[in-house]
Amino acid sequence: MKLIKTDIPQVLLVEPTVFADERGYFCEIYKKETLENALGYQLAFIQDNEAKSTKGVLRGLHYQLPPFAQTKLVRVIQGSVLDVVVDIRKGSPTFGKHVAIELNDKNKQQLLVPKGFAHGYVVLSDTAIFSYKVDNYYHKQSERGIIFNDPQLNIDWNYPIDKLIISEKDTIQPAFAKADLFEKEHNINE
């Protein structure tokens, strides 16, 4: 398993070693010790979630505020998505910056999304099965979001905007400048 820093150092690309032959393949998807050693803090994933979506579905940008913030380890089991992570930690050197990485069933890469980051993805293939681990339970009152097409964030979703399939909830999220973000005292692992 190889861990690669992205343009936002706290967001890690996790690249498994894949052993393939005529029978199929084997790879190690999650190894707590390896991730914790690279991060310098402990992980305590408590739930796995899975979503199936069709081409053009955009989910995001979502996060939960402290003390219900979540670290996520995300991957694609089937298909392809463009995964986007935005730094929402006030005072962070990368505040307001984002990382966009294609995750798919061929590269088997994962993305570690720490607390203090908004997350979303758009499905690029006909369908996609998206799976992720979280270290805190869903808490409706702490759930927040940012509008996907915020001009300040300037995210290129690599998909025609007029063909996106978006939930009503995601079309009425606030702009980045008006969103409830992580205050400096909640910034971890900078």
Catalytic residue flag (residue 121): no
Give residue 41's pLDDT.
Answer: 87
Give residue 189's pLDDT.
Answer: 52
Q: Residue 187 pLDDT more than 60?
A: no
**How does residue 91 score in pLDDT terms, banded at 50, 70 and 90?**
very high
**How does residue 186 score in pLDDT terms, banded at 50, 70 and 90?**
low
pLDDT tens-digit map of 29-46: 999 998 888 888 899 999
Instruction: Report the percentage of the chain scoring pLDDT > 90.
Output: 88
Give residue 139's pLDDT.
Answer: 97
Please report, for residues 99, 114, 172, the alpha-carbon distance to residue 175 in angstroms, rounded to integers and kept in the order given.
Answer: 18, 21, 9
Please state the φ and ψ torsions of residue 14, each to the nearest 5 degrees: -105, 115
Q: Residue 1 pLDDT more than 60?
A: yes
For the chain, which domains are there? 2-186 (2.60.120.10)
**How does residue 188 score in pLDDT terms, banded at 50, 70 and 90?**
low
pTM over 0.85, yes/no = yes
Please state the φ and ψ torsions of residue 24, each to the nearest 5 degrees: 140, -135
User: Whose CA is closest to 11, among 83, 68, 90, 104?
Assistant: 83
Please report, for residues 21, 92, 141, 144, the alpha-carbon distance to residue 100 in angstroms, rounded to integers and kept in the order given.
Answer: 31, 18, 28, 20
Give residue 190's pLDDT.
Answer: 45
Distance separating alpha carbons of residues 51 and 152, to the nearest angstrom: 28
Q: Once rounded to an integer, what is the mean pLDDT over residues 61-81? A: 97
**Mean pLDDT over each residue of the chain, to the nearest integer:** 94
Q: Once rounded to an integer, what is the mean pLDDT over residues 125-147? A: 97
3-state secondary structure 6-58: CCCCCCEEEECCEEEECCEEEECCCCHHHHHHHHCCCCCCCEEEEEEEECCEE
- Choosing from 62, 119, 121, 138, the catalytic residue is 62
- Choosing from 132, 137, 159, 186, the catalytic residue is 132
Q: Once rounded to an integer, what is the mean pLDDT over residues 63-92? A: 97
Pairing status of strand 57-64 against strand 165-166: parallel
Catalytic residue flag (residue 62): yes
Asked whether the beta carbons of 143 and 62 are under 8 A apart, the reply is: yes
Tokens of 178: 């008006």
